[in-house]
Amino acid sequence: MELRFGEKEENLRKEVREFLRTNLPKTEGEGGGQLGSRTDAAFEAALKFNNELGKRGWIAPAWPKEYGGLGASIYEQMVFNEEFGYNGAPDTGTRGFGVGMIGPTLIIHGNEEQKKRYLPRITSGEDIWCQGYSEPGAGSDLAALQTRAVRDGDDYVINGQKIWTSGGHRSNQMFCLVRTDPEAPKHRGISFLLIDDIKNQPGLTIRPLVNMANRHHFNEVFFEDVRVPARNLVGEENRGWYVGMTLLDFERSGIGTTASQKKTLENLTKTLKGGPAWKREKYRHKLADFVIANEVGRFLGYRIGYIQASGMVPNYEASVVKIYQSELGQKIYNFGVNMLGLSGQFVPEEPRAPLGGDMPESYIQSVPASIYSGSNEIQRNIIATRGLGLPRG
Ligand SMILES: Cc1cc2nc3c(=O)[nH]c(=O)nc-3n(C[C@H](O)[C@H](O)[C@H](O)COP(=O)(O)OP(=O)(O)OC[C@H]3O[C@@H](n4cnc5c(N)ncnc54)[C@H](O)[C@@H]3O)c2cc1C
């Protein structure tokens, strides 16, 4: 058994590292360049970075060439994700929602016109997508969604509300699930629609929801007679549930998260090395435990990569990774805040914050990780039923 990447992947890794060394935006003190970034400047920097990726075909390397990718293997994609995660490469939503969700969905369920229209705009970095699934009464039980779309001539007319729409205020495009047949059993009356140019859609209002890290990450979105052309329906009317469940990401190992946690552990180790002896004595065993746990996470991620590279679809194994990484992240960042002492609570805006204020920021931002993408309770249900074969009830 040999557990390492091949020469091709390692050469690619060098190339990616070199690119990141010269192109990574400097957004320290601004809460990273991600969707929830506090300042417009950080978001603009992330956009610029993304455009550079787009020029190289690096936004969706694993997509087929005809759709603007490089046709890269799962292992090559893992190298990208590992390096991006370790080095804190920002995303604007293009890679997460564009490449991770709507792109694969269109590749499988979209018609030729939809593929031609939308996929190149994802791989160029031009379009930023957001996801309109959750509603105030529909989260884990997503099929309970009530946002209504009624066919009227060549359009659908949408009324209702979405919630927790990450990056809705930064996006220009939304994919969403709507109810088109209220009489049908709940999974069968849902359709999948694309909404263009959401910032300029009459009747569509985006309102901020500020999270407990004081970041504007997600939003409420209200629809009042919003008209969407019927050509924006993906798949068949009333069969949208099955379209919406296609989240066949080209790489689902979560290896970027593990790499980012590894970097955090390295930063904490450096801090401990330069600190007083009593602190090293107090924290070194706990730190060592996290290094072990992080390695376990890496191998759980590699297992997913292996399953996908072998042409199989990860099932409960992806739930194992999701639970493991999200809960480990919460523990690591909590540990980091404690280890840094009182000043460890300084947020990125405070110039004296150790490690750029990353620890409290990451700790607070890690809390919802066990809720989004299917809460960890739902993931445990999946492991119990699909993994262990236990009955549902
Ligand atoms: C940071 C963040 C970003 C998000 N971004 C988006 C986005 O961009 N677009 C979008 O559409 N949604 C988004 N969401 C919403 C997310 O998908 C939902 O929060 C999630 O599905 C849970 O739904 P809920 O919040 O309604 O909780 P509920 O479904 O009401 O769950 C409440 C609690 O009950 C538990 N529970 C529910 N059902 C079961 C069950 N069957 N068995 C055991 N326990 C159960 C849950 O685990 C949870 O602890 C985001 C959420 C967060 C936190």
- The pLDDT assigned to 38 comes to 65
Q: Tell which CATH architecture fits domain 255-387.
A: Up-down Bundle (1.20)
Residue 276: pLDDT band (50, 70, 90) is very high
- Domain residue extents for the chain: 7-92, 129-244, 255-387
What atom of ligand 1 comes closest to residue 136's alpha carbon?
26
Q: How confident is the model at residue 29 (pLDDT cuts 50, 70, 90)?
A: very low
Q: What is the pLDDT of residues 280-328, one digit of tens each?
A: 999 999 999 999 999 999 999 999 999 988 888 888 999 999 999 999 9
Closest protein CA for atom 7 of ligand 1: 165
pLDDT exceeds cutoff 70 at 65? yes
Q: Are 79 and 13 in contact (CB under 8 A)?
A: yes
Question: What is the number of the ligand 1 atom nearest to the C-alpha of 377?
Answer: 47
CA 379 to chain centre: 16
7-92 and 129-244 agree in CATH topology: no
pLDDT band at 36 (very low <50, low <70, confident <90, very high): low
Band of residue 248 on the pLDDT scale cut at 50, 70, 90 = low
Question: What digits encode the pLDDT tens for the residues 183-204?
Answer: 999 999 999 999 999 999 999 9
Dist CA 106 CA 93 (whole Å): 17
Ligand 1 atom with least separation from CA of 162: 11
Q: Which CATH architecture describes the domain 7-92?
A: Orthogonal Bundle (1.10)
Active site residues: 251
Residue 42 pLDDT > 90: no
**How would you class 137 by CB atoms within 10 Å of its CB: exposed for 0-12, middle for 13-18, buried for 19 or more?**
exposed
Atom 29 (ligand 1) nearest CA: 140
Residues near ligand 1 (Cβ within 6 A) = 130-134, 139-140, 164-166, 218, 368, 371-372, 375, 377-378, 381
Q: Tell me, in angstroms, the distance from the centre of ligand 1 to residue 111's CA.
A: 31
* Statement: residue 33 has pLDDT above 50: no
Whole-number Å distance, alpha carbon 69 to ligand 1 midpoint, is 32
- Ligand 1 center to 144 CA (angstroms): 13
| Identity of residue 137 | G
The fold adopted by the segment(s) 129-244 is Butyryl-CoA Dehydrogenase, subunit A; domain 2 (2.40.110)
Residues with Cβ within 8 Å of residue 300, at least 6 apart in sequence: 317, 320, 321, 324
Mean pLDDT in residue range 341-358? 90
The structure tokens listed for 317 are 């194994």
Q: Given this model, what pLDDT does residue 61 score?
A: 93
* pTM attached to this predicted model: 0.92
